[in-house]
Structure 1
Amino acid sequence: MEWAGTQPWSAGKVGLSGVSYLSSLQWRVAALNPPHLAAINPWEGWNDTYREVARHGGIPETSFWPYIWERWGASTTGIEDLEAETAAHPFLDAFWASKVPPLEDIRVPAYVVASWADQGLHTRGTLEGFRRISSAQKWLDVHGRKKWAYYYEPELVERQRAFFDHFLLDRTGTGIESWPRVRAEVRERYQEGTWRDAEQWPLEDVGYRRLHLRAGDGALDWAAPATEEEAGYDGLGSGLAPRRATFEIIFPEAVELVGHVTATLWMSADEAEDMDVFLALFKLDAQGRQVGFPYYGQFEDGPVAVGWQRASHRELDPERSTAYLPVLAHRRALPLVPGERPGWTSRCGPRAPGSRRGRSCCWWSRAATSCGTRAT
């Protein structure tokens, strides 16, 4: 950074841009406030390695995390064994804390781009990064497309050029003075959506409402059930038995769901001390068919939003959690006790789908354990 900023051919101002890992590095560099860093463009990049990559909801990531270690493991010096480190550090200890940059220390201008479609890796960290950095000049775009393709769209290349021309070359007439502070794409389906302008994230005009799971008839309802109801399924069984609990609501009029979504669950596992719960929010069309959305930056038939939760990691961080944005503490294990149903709040999202009249949202929950499970 400082080498580039002090070369004879340099304007003395350096910018950073890139997707995924090239974005994650920007949070870490910018938090150091190097003298010649003038602007950053984090384009979908995590910043909390434990919560956003290695252990979603406390569940070890066993596919992508070992994969990147094997793929990028070539080095002339020692490298970290990501898989072994994840196993050796099951909780959010000093090791993982050392990998979280102090976002509030970032003060340079930032053009941050997030995606609703990369929830398994970058969505949460990018939005949290924008919310927490101290930059006086910062902008956020939230799209619903595939991250690498969107980065190279001609219109977006021009936005990047305008941003860096303004802050690195001091050019006037770039137009960024008229940019809305936040742009969010409300998605109808893949490659189809409407952009909304706002002044902040989370969006200032969003109102949160509570829906209740009705286990008796599998409905999502605005009214709470009159009596306690129970839904059960065998997470690891065989045959045609259901592997999940599903709840559905049909909207009588057009509605936009923009912001965070959480689920408060009371669950038990009759013969286990722990279980991994997977949550998903789907959009269905008027005929009951699933409407596909990009997922993990690659697939086109995914859910609207997803969430993960290991039951023993249900304890919240009281200092960081809010009513609609729970943050897990990950400091200790709280095993399940047979016969008891502890309640916990899981994070699923954020998301921004739109639904027309007569279309529905379907919420399903699946738990994997060595025995049957119960969901209420």
Structure 2
Amino acid sequence: MRCAVVRACGMWWLLGLLMGSAGSSFAAEPAASYGYIPLSDGTQLRYSLYLPPGAGPFPATLVYSGYNAGNNPYDISFANIGERLIERGIAVIGVSLRGTGCSQGTWRPFDLRWGPDGAEVVEWIAQQPWNDGRVAAAGVSFPAILALATAVQRPPALRAVLPMVPLGELYRDVAYPGGIFNLTFATAWTFMQKVGTPFSLFETLQGDTRCGTAIPLQNDPRHITVVEAAQIPYADSDERYERFLSPELFARISVPVLGQVAWQDEQLGSRAWHAFERLDPSRTWMVGVNGAHGTIVNSARFRELAVAFLDHFLHGGQPQDFAAPRLQIWKGMSTADYEPAVVELYDRWPLEPETLTLYAQPDGSLRFEPPSAARMFSYLYPLPAPSTLTLILVPNPTQLTYLLPVIPGGSVALTTPTLDQDLRILGPASLDVWISTPASDVDLQVSLVEVRPDGREMFVQRGWLRASHRALDAVRSTPRLPVHTHRQADVQALTPGAITPLRIEIMPVAHTFHAGSALRVYVEAPLGFSGFRQLALNPLPTTVSVHVGPQTPTRLVFGRAPQPVSIPVRADGLPACDRTENQPCRSSPEPIPEGNLQVPAAEDEGRGGGALASIGLVLAVLLRRRRLLCVQ
């Protein structure tokens, strides 16, 4: 009888995860308290705690943040998950890192002490009488970054990590994308680092006199984020760029991880994908979605997966028994309810996509065969690409101000003919472009778009490069991923008028270019906002020429995903252009080349590594997992 119940419950859990899930059936009232955690150097970190009803002890999920976790354990966007954890008998504790909120200490952006502090916090939690010795770290954005920095330290009590939309490395992801100063990010963090400060009055009125005394000592004029970031412009300018978080450091994480990235993340980007690839595959599950920074917590489907993951590992579950698909790609996530149109499943992480190359042709088209003749295309720099005046002209500032008209002469567009079949791209891409200019340096932006049959083009992804930062890390670079050194000694000005090859990284993305559509790349200047990202570009006007031909093979090198198991979620299919989360559409300013482009046949899917043979495999494995499938 019990076996039958488990099977039925397991089937509904799977269907709920993939097809949608209902809200919780009851709301448990947690017991709230607060206090201070003493660190080994004497610093006291403010915490806030929610305990489930009952006697305990309980496992705990840590939300460790620079915003307001010490005053609210759900912090900015963890409430929808945190409430469900309380129902599962899991405590939620929020901790404000040093120099923020009501915590003691001095703020220094991306301080190398944050990770070791987090490890001390984990071990302090494990020693409390209300905790059973098991702790997970979780959160969105800032708490996700700190969860990973803590996990790198390998505190013994840590059991799992749930990082949603983190960064993977500081310099390339947010501080200097492509070697260009990210002015908006640094400026905004100057203010956001003090989000918890207004709560000091409230906390003082509630009887916490420590909070009011800690805040005046938190600020050091030497560590104003925007000023400090502007003074360290190279990857070797400051040790934090390599030692705070990096793909190499991810390899130290030894606990199960459910990672998540948003391809069009307008704040931290999607490059954490590369770092997640360094994790132990037997302990890693990944979800990649289209959309904006942090909106994943609006999805009931993702919350169900997140709660199941934390519940499993905080109650003693083993990795081999958590049988969710290793990789889920959500496509067509809608602005209406933040749920996808299609979920693509793979049983392996990481994937190794098949590498394909599209070559620029003298007629401005992109095709799979190398060009037989040469030509030059030019644009004026820096005419604005359609990415300016975000807050004024576009209601949603994450939409990259993509709806502005494309100014003629401000970019070079390279476009495939209409595709004869769907083309699923996955991961990073490299635009290997040959340029010349009378200037000694220019900043380049590459925009990848899908030109649809209705004449509108949908935003897919972007990448950037300051030409003087073109030196490559030969060890880390691959045909699809150019990794630039960004070291001061490697900076090299352009020779005016000389034709120079550059490799521009396009951030990781998963997108299906549908049959009947075309793929297009723009080469332009990064003038204006890409959502939250305003780069401080080289402002000197000039002309930039893009060269194509047998000796100057400008080309797009990208990955094609293996065949997945595709689960349709929406009966009405993909959402309309204006309903797709963070992938806006605009009228196409350029025609599509005549004819059709025959997409090459895919290589052997087994060698590509990772497509599930059938959904039955998922069902069979899931039905073996009693604790995850049913509430005991």
Question: Is the TM-score greater than 0.5?
Answer: yes
1:246 counterpart = 2:389: no
Out of 83, 90, 98, the position equivalent to 2:243 is: 98
The correspondence for 1:148, drawn from 284, 294, 312, is 294
Residue 142 of structure 1: how far off its partner (Å) = 0.9
TM-score (norm 2): 0.54
Once the two structures are superposed, the pairs formed by residues 277-356 of structure 1 within 5 Å of their partners are 277-291=444-458, 303-331=459-487, 332-356=490-514
DSSP-derived class of the 1:17 partner: strand
CA 1:128–1:258 in 2, change beyond 3 Å: closer, same or farther? closer
Q: What is the rounded CA distance, in whole Å, between the counterparts of 2:312 and 2:447 in structure 1? A: 41
Gaps spanning 5+ residues in structure 1: where? Answer: 292-302
How many Å separate the matches in 1 of 2:147 and 2:360? 41
For 1:56, the equivalent position in structure 2 comes to: 177
After superposition, the Cα gap between the structure-2 partners of 1:154 and 1:315, relative to the gap in structure 1 and judged at 3 Å, is same
Conserved? CA contact 2:447–2:523, under 8 Å: yes
Amino acid at match of 1:374: S
- Which of 305, 316, 322 aligns to 1:177? It is 322
Cα distance change, pair 188–152 in 1 and its aligned pair in 2 (3 A): closer
User: Is 2:343 the partner of 1:195?
Assistant: yes
Deviation, structure 1 residue 188? 8.8
Q: Which amino acid aligns with 2:412?
A: A
Contiguous gaps of at least 5 residues in structure 2: 1-121, 198-214, 385-405, 527-539, 548-632
Determine which of 251, 256, 259 is the counterpart of 1:112: 259
> How far, CA to CA, are the matches of 1:187 and 1:320 in structure 2?
32
**Cα deviation digits, residues 33-60 of structure 1 (max 9, x gap):** 1121111001110031111001000010
Q: Report if the CA contact (8 A) 2:269-2:507 is conserved.
A: no
Contact 1:281–1:364 (Cα < 8 Å) also in 2: yes
Matched residue, 1:236: 382
1:209 aligns with 2:356: yes
AA at the equivalent of 2:146: L
2:160 pairs with one of 8, 16, 39: 39
Q: Max radius of gyration: which structure?
A: 2
1:361 is matched with 519
- Aligned equivalent of 2:140: 19
SS of the equivalent of 1:155 reads: helix
Contact 1:11 1:169 in 2 (8 A): no
**For the residues of structure 1 that align with 2:485 and 2:257, how far apart are their CA atoms?**
29
Amino acid in the other structure paired with 2:218: T
Q: Deviations over 1:27-82 (max 9, x none)?
A: 21000011211110011100311110010000100112211112324553245322
What letter is aligned with 2:367?
A: D
For residues 334 and 431 of structure 2, what CA distance do their matches in structure 1 show? Answer: 23
Is the helix fraction higher in 1 or 2? 2
**Deviation of the 1:201 alpha carbon:** 4.4
The Cα offsets for residues 94-149 of structure 1, whole Å up to 9 and x where unpaired, read as 43223335211110111111121216514112x12321124741111111133433
Query: With structure 1 as the length reference, what TM-score do the two structures score?
Result: 0.88
Number of residues of Structure 1 aligned to a counterpart in Structure 2? 360
CA contact (8 A) 2:270 2:509 kept: no
Counterpart Cα distance in 1 of 2:230 and 2:407: 35
For residues 230 and 278 of structure 2, the distance between their equivalents in structure 1, rounded to whole angstroms, comes to 30
Code of the aligned partner of 2:450: K
Are residues 367 and 145 of structure 1, via their aligned partners in 2, closer, same or farther at CA, if it must alter by over 3 Å? closer
Q: Residue 326 of structure 2 contacts residue 349 of structure 2 at CA under 8 Å; is this kept in 1?
A: no
- How far did residue 258 of structure 1 move? 2.3
What's the offset of the Cα at 1:320? 1.1
CA distance in 2, matches of 1:78, 1:120: 24
Corresponding residue SS for 2:509: coil
Q: CA deviation at 1:222?
A: 1.5
- The structure-2 alpha-carbon separation of the partners of 1:92 and 1:175, relative to structure 1 and needing over 3 Å to count, comes to closer
Aligned residue for 2:301, secondary structure, equals helix
Q: 1:43 to 1:237 in 2, by over 3 A?
A: closer
Q: Does 1:273 align with 2:429?
A: no
The 3 A distance-change label for structure 1 pair 12 and 283 is same
Q: 1:48 to 1:146 in 2, by over 3 A?
A: same
Q: Distance in 1 between the 2:440 and 2:514 partners?
A: 42
- Contact 2:265–2:291 (CA under 8 A) maintained in structure 1: no
CA RMSD of aligned residues (A): 2.4
Q: Which of the numbers 300, 305, 314 marks the counterpart of 1:168?
A: 314
Q: 1:147 to 1:339 in 2, by over 3 A?
A: closer
- 1:319 and 1:355 map into 2 onto residues whose CA distance is 31
Paired residues of 2:268 and 2:293 also in contact (CA < 8 A): no
Cα distance in 1 for partners of 2:377, 2:333 equals 31
Change (3 A) 1:171 1:311: closer
Matched, 1:131 2:277: yes
Partner SS, residue 12 of structure 1: strand
Q: Distance in 2 between matches of 1:65 and 1:200?
A: 36
